[in-house]
Amino acid sequence: MVGIVCAYLKEAKPLIEYFGLKKRNDKFLIYENEKISLIISGQGKLNSAVATTFLLSTREISHIINFGIAGSSEYKIGEIFLVNKINDNLFPDILISHPFRESEIICFDEVVTGGNYKLVDMESEGFFKAAVKFLKSHQIHLIKVVSDNLVCFRPSDEFMKNLISSHLENIKKYINLLKENKKIDLSIAEEIAKKYHLSFSQKEQLKNRIMYYLLNNIKLPKIDFEKTNRKNDFRRIMNEFKI
């Protein structure tokens, strides 16, 4: 499933409605369906890191997105960006062709109300540093919408909705591009190992062999000995799986 971390409920609301997410009773404010799990972290690096860690340690998540607003002295209000660099030294890997413009972001501890910055926020660094403990950098994404040109303000729900709603379709498209890790089914090895009481290392050898067969499109032999014989079963099995 895809995780989304938002600092404020205001930023999250348009997504919650659009994706039809349902509120869960949990230690954090979490909204979910079968595909998406969205958590509200609160403001700042530390809060973002804690919520990200919580989400990634309690759910099976293959990609995680930090979605939120950002300030900018360069871009127009309402523009949306996929982040390719945080603070000079953190790099999410962008490996798919996507519908957004890209930008760097600088993450601050306090609200920024001046200076020249492409994008600034207060969460990205904490989010990223927590996420890399669980996922690889191509599974970590940051999408930011410019909300202000570096002034201090309190956006209303209405303002947020207007800011974000025109981007929802592209956000959905982007989420659909994110792939789950492929898993190869090796349950047959488990079954054989159980039935013939194979040791751990024998089971590993058998798994390797089954992988070799699958990757070469060779039909797997049927293992169904009439009599089992602990001493010889493994040898007999491997004989059926000749290379």
Partner 1 sequence: MNLRFSHIYVEKQVKNEKYVKEVLSKFPKAEVIEINHYKDRFNPYYQSFRAQRQAQALILAKKEVPFIYEASELIQKQDKNFFYTTPMLNCIYDCHYCFLQGMYPSSNLVLFVNFEDFFEEVERVYKNLGNMFLSISYDTDILAVENLFGVAEIWADFVKNKDIKLELRTKAVNVDGFEYQENIVFAFSLSPEIIIEKYEKYTPKLDARIKAIKKVINKGFRPVIVFDPIIKVKDYKKVYKKFIEKVFSEIDYKDIESIVYGTFRMNSTQFKAIKKELLSDIYYYPYSVKNGIVEYKDKEEIIKFIESLLPNIKKFKV
When the beta carbons of 25 and 89 are compared against partner 1, the nearer one is: 89
| Closer residue to partner 1, CB minimum distance, 103 or 147 | 103
Candidates 23, 24, 35, 138; binder of partner 1 (CB under 8 A) is: 138
Q: Does 93 bind partner 1 (CB under 8 A)?
A: yes
Smallest separation, CB 210 to partner 1 (Å): 8
Cα(143)–Cα(55) distance, integer angstroms:
18
> Residue 135, interface with partner 1 (CB under 8 A)?
yes
Torsion-angle region of residue 97: left (phi > 0), alpha (psi -120 to 50) or beta?
beta
For the bound state, the minimum distance from the C-beta of residue 82 to partner 1, rounded and expressed in Å, comes to 10
Residue 178 CB, shortest distance to partner 1, in Å, is 12
Between the alpha carbon of residue 204 and those of residues 90, 121, 185, 192, 227, the distances in Å are 37, 47, 14, 12, 23
> How many other CB atoms sit within 10 Å of the CB of residue 223?
16
Q: For residue 191, with 0-12 CB atoms within 10 Å meaning exposed, 13-18 middle and 19 or more buried, which class applies?
A: exposed
Whose CA is closest to 38, among 3, 78, 71? 3
Asked if 212 is part of the footprint of partner 1 (rule: CB under 8 A), the reply reads yes
Q: How far apart are CA 176 and CA 36, in angstroms?
A: 11
Candidates 154, 184, 200, 219; binder of partner 1 (CB under 8 A) is 184
Alpha helices in 86-199 (DSSP H): 124-131, 157-165, 168-177, 187-195
The two beta strands, 63-71 and 2-6, are: parallel
Alpha-carbon distance of 108 to 96, in angstroms, equals 28
Would you count residue 177 as binding partner 1 (CB under 8 A)? no
Query: Which of the ranges 47-55, 61-69, 93-101, 227-235 carries the binding residues for partner 1, by CB under 8 A?
Result: 93-101
Query: Using the rule CB under 8 A, is 216 a contact of partner 1?
Result: yes
Give the nearest distance from C-beta 62 to partner 1 in angstroms: 12
The residue range among 6-14, 23-31, 40-48, 89-97 that interacts with partner 1, by the rule CB under 8 A, is 89-97
Q: Which residues bind partner 1 (CB under 8 A)?
A: 84-85, 88-89, 91, 93-97, 102, 104, 132, 135-138, 184, 205, 208-209, 211-212, 215-216, 243
